[in-house]
Structure formats: structure tokens, C-alpha cells
Amino acid sequence: MESCMTTTPRKFSRIQPELRRENLVAATLRCLAEHGHAGVSVRKIAAAADVSIGLINHYYPSIDQLISHAYETLSGGIADGLLKASEAGADPRDSLSRFITESFGPAILDPKMLGVWVVFWSMVRHSADMAAVQQRTYGQYRAALERHLGALAEQKGLPAMNIRAAATALNAMLDGLWLTWCLNPADFSVQEGVAMCEGWVDAFAAGLFAERLRA
């Protein structure tokens, strides 16, 4: 992984604001991945981006704003990948399989990113900006799962149930397995992780969830 710190002399150049923000976000993610909470530092991020602290303050008046932008960028990219994969499904069950498989892909199942997410999650309770990003991105994941689970329930002729709770349950399972794997990849293989989630969806399709949470 590229080091958060650099000894290369700073290069002052005129770059389009949006590109400059992208560079700052990328540097922020590198710092958080390498240093965890210690990476929440304007000084370290400035060094990683090879810019002055003043330039960062120009674009982001507070460190919270920079971290929340990095959070939204990373979360948004993951959400886009999951939605694109699942929308390509031939039917509701296939869409869910694609969502699950993508959730265990290399872009998401990366132990190096654990430090990044730990920082993000710990800040959600104390930062309005971070909380807003979390609500938006989590809403995207759950809405996609609600849509696919609802379509599957209709296809299988299942009784009315709390689809929102079902989507929350599957999303929590995916999150929990991701965290467990990042902490110790030896606990289970990617294939086993996919199989666990596929088994949950099979049980849902068989009506077992509907028996517990009727609408």
C-alpha cells in the first residue's frame, strides 16, 4: 500500500477543483487504510496528497467534511457496483445471487479497508455529516434488497410480510460476514460466505421468514 507520508517536494499546480477533491479523497482513504484513526489528520493527508494544509482547508473547512466526502465516495462506489451487478439478473433470485456474489468480490472484501470503515463507523454517532452519508448509502443498499426480495416473494406467492425487515436482516448478515472475514480471513472462505447468504435467501424463498414476520 502506498505510504501515507512522502518526502517528495510539494508541487504547486493549478488543477480543476473536482479533480483536486478527488485527489484529496484518495489521499484520505490511503491514510485511513494505513493508520486507522491516526490517519484522521490534516497534516498526514496533506503530506499524502502532496499539498499544503492551507489548500485542504480551502476545499474542506473541517476535517469532518473531508472524511464524510471520502466516506460517501467509497460507499457510493460500492453501492454502484452492487446495484449494477444485481440489476443484470435474469430474475429476482438471480439478482439476489449477483448482489451476494458482488458483496464478496475483491473490491469489497479487502482487509486493508477495515481500518477505513472502522473510522467511518466510529464517526457516524458524532458527526452530522457522517450520519447523513450513512443514512443515504445504507438506504441505497436496503432499497435494492427490498426490491429484489419483494419481487422474489411475489414470484413465489409468499404471504404478505415485512420486506423491510427481511432486507435489513440480509444486509446485516452481509455486513457481519464482511467484518468477520476482514478481522480473520481464515474463519471462512469467500465461497462459504456466499453459500451462507444464498442459504438465507433459499430459506426466505421457502417462506420461513414470512412465518416469523407477517405484515
The per-residue pLDDT for range 145-201, each reduced to its tens digit, is: 999 999 999 999 999 999 999 999 999 999 999 999 988 999 999 999 999 999 999
Query: What cell does 174 get?
Result: 452481509
Residues carrying CATH 1.10.357.10, the chain = 90-112+126-212
Mean residue pLDDT of the chain comes to 89
Annotate 129-153 with DSSP letters as a single string.
HHHHHHHHHHHHHHHHHHHHHHHHH
What integer pLDDT is reported at residue 14 of this predicted model?
56
Question: What was the pLDDT predicted at 211?
Answer: 81
Least confident of 3-12, 71-80, 96-105, 177-186: 3-12
Which residue carries 473541517 as its cell?
62
Q: Quick one: fold of 90-112+126-212?
A: Tetracycline Repressor; domain 2 (1.10.357)
CATH of 17-61, picked from 2.60.40.10, 3.30.590.10, 3.40.640.10, 1.10.10.60, is 1.10.10.60
In this predicted model, what pLDDT tens digit does every residue of 74-88 receive, in sequence order? 999 999 999 999 999
The type of residue at 17 is P
Most confident of 107-111, 113-117, 136-140: 136-140
Domain(s) of CATH 1.10.10.60: residues in the chain: 17-61
